[in-house]
Amino acid sequence: MNKTITVIKGDGIGPEIVTEALRVLDKIAQKYGHSFTYQQIDAGGCAIDKYGTSLPEESLQKCLDCDSVLLGAVGGPKWDGVDKNIRPEAALLGIRSAMGLYANLRPAKLFPQLSGASPLKPEIVARGIDLLMVRELIGGAYFGDHITEEKNGEKVATDLMTYSEHEIERIARTAFNTARKRGKRVISVDKANVLDSSRLWRAVVHRVAAEYPDVTCTDMLVDNTAMQLVKDPSQFDVVVTENLFGDILSDEASMITGSIGMIPSSSLGEGTRGMYEPIHGSAPDIAGKNLANPIGTILSAAMMLKYSFDMDAESEAIEAAVNKALDDGYRTGDIMSEGMTQVTCSEMGDKILENI
């Protein structure tokens, strides 16, 4: 198959980790007889430096004209002071919204080889961590109006947290459909004892749940979920929630695995075209030093093959190659532990390539 992939290397460690992922994709193309065309675009901080905006029109257009987008990381303290509309994050939000990527899937899974890296105690880790966060990505307080006004002699700022029935319904379907292929358990997270948007969320999720009698559906309040993730993550299979809660909880969930450098994510809309990126940030402190962990990005590429290109065997070949590199004891600095062999970002890429 021929596929056109829009590539955003971005800022900080972005270029290094994406480079390794592209090498892996090239190897897959060669081995399985595909051809991947990469169109590299500028977005994020580097685009601000070049064009004065984090998402030039041409970059956005290339995200819309492709089969999928692969992103490294954007942002960094260098651009903390810039206006909110041209911030690095605005590029991410702009792409998500323009591409209609309402479903953000973030697996938080313990790699058995790295179970010692979890901050949780061994008794809890032993029960297993294998959950999937399904976060609504283009609604809620992120995309409602943001208003700052002068009232009675002081500034008053308001963000609108808005959800409509169809927005909730489609993300609920994503969660239930995905749960069918996993443990058949959905936990829907809201704050229905306080928020109207959460009460609507809960009602619509229940309505959708009725169409999936083979999947159990349980409500959990967001504050309680923040506790339960730490207390006993093994109780979760699929967790579905709105944008802001999903931002907070998916980061918490990934941290309990102890290896955020390893976690990929996919953002999907109605079609098969998506955006794939590791969940970690741009880590400016180690940028350009060949120290970063490329696995989150490489597994994001694997997710792209599976979800957007229907290339299951190819995707699994990458996952197996990553697993073998870990089994063989290779570790980047962030996941290094006693008795293992520490490797650089590109060396980790080499090891994974060898296993494909």
Ligand X SMILES: CC(C)[C@H](C(=O)O)[C@@H](O)C(=O)O
Q: Which residues are annotated as a binding site?
A: 76-89, 96, 106, 135, 223, 247, 251, 281-293
Binding-site member from 87, 106, 135, 351 for a second copy (CB under 8 A):
87
126 is a site residue for a second copy (CB under 8 A) = no
Residue 350 in contact with ligand X, rule: CB under 6 A: no
Using CB under 6 A as the binding rule, the residues of this chain from 118 to 137 that contact ligand X are none
Quick check: 70 and 304 in contact, CB under 8 A? yes
Q: Name the residues annotated as catalytic.
A: 142, 191, 223, 247, 251
Strand ranges across the sheet with 130-136: 35-40, 2-10, 68-73, 274-278, 264-268, 103-109, 130-136, 238-241, 185-190, 216-221
Site for ligand X in 2-41 (CB under 6 A): none
Contact code string over 92-121 relative to a second copy, x by CB under 8 A: -x------------------------xxxx
Owner of token pair 């942002």? 75
Q: Smaller CB distance to ligand X: residue 194 or 203?
A: 194
Centre a 10 Å sphere on the Cβ of residue 149 and count the other Cβ atoms it contains: 9
The binder of 31, among a second copy, ligand X, none, by C-beta within 5 to 8 A per type, is: none
340 binds, among ligand X, a second copy, none (CB under 5 to 8 A by kind): none
Closest CB 226 distance from a second copy, rounded Å: 4
Q: Is 184 left (phi over 0), alpha (psi -120 to 50) or beta?
A: left
Q: Which residues are annotated as a binding site for Mg(2+)?
A: 223, 247, 251
Which residue of 58, 165, 223, 285 would you call a contact of ligand X, by CB under 6 A?
223
Backbone angles phi, psi at 274, to 5 degrees: -140, 180
**Residues 247-306 contacting ligand X, CB under 6 A:** 247
* Residue of 64, 126, 160, 313 that binds a second copy (CB under 8 A): 160
DSSP for 304-349, written as a single string: HHHHTT--HHHHHHHHHHHHHHHHTTEE-GGG--TTSEE--HHHHH
Please give the backbone phi and psi of residue 220, each rounded to the nearest 5 degrees, phi first.
-140, 135
What is d(CA 106, CA 253) in angstroms, rounded to the nearest whole number? 9
Which of 26, 89, 130, 159 binds ligand X (CB under 6 A)? It is 89
Say if residues 4 and 286 touch (Cβ distance below 8 Å): no
- Find the part of the chain contacting a second copy (CB under 8 A) among 3-11, 192-200, 285-293, 340-348: 192-200
What, of a second copy, ligand X, none, does residue 84 touch, CB below 5 to 8 Å by kind? a second copy
Measured from the CB of residue 118, what is the shortest distance to a second copy in angstroms? 8
Q: Closest distance between ligand X and the C-beta of residue 300, in Å?
A: 12
DSSP class of residue 227?
Answer: H
What are 119's two structure tokens?
């901050």
Pairwise CA distance, residues 59 & 41, whole Å: 5
283 burial type by CB count under 10 A (0-12 exposed, 13-18 middle, 19+ buried): buried
| CB of 204 vs a second copy, minimal distance in Å | 8
Mapped onto helix, strand or coil, the DSSP state of residue 39 is strand
Q: Which of 6, 197, 297, 308 touches a second copy by CB under 8 A?
A: 197
Q: Which two tokens stand for residue 103?
A: 């479903």
8 Å CB contact between 17 and 285: no
Residue of 71, 92, 217, 260 interacting with ligand X (CB under 6 A): 92
CB 108 within 8 A of CB 236: no
Q: Which of 6, 88, 48 is nearest to 275 (CA)?
A: 6
| Site for ligand X, rule CB under 6 A | 89, 92, 193-194, 223, 247
| Site for a second copy, rule CB under 8 A | 75, 84, 87, 89, 93, 118-122, 124, 141-142, 144, 146-148, 151, 154-166, 191, 193-197, 199-201, 222-224, 226-227, 229-232, 244-245, 247-252, 254-256, 260
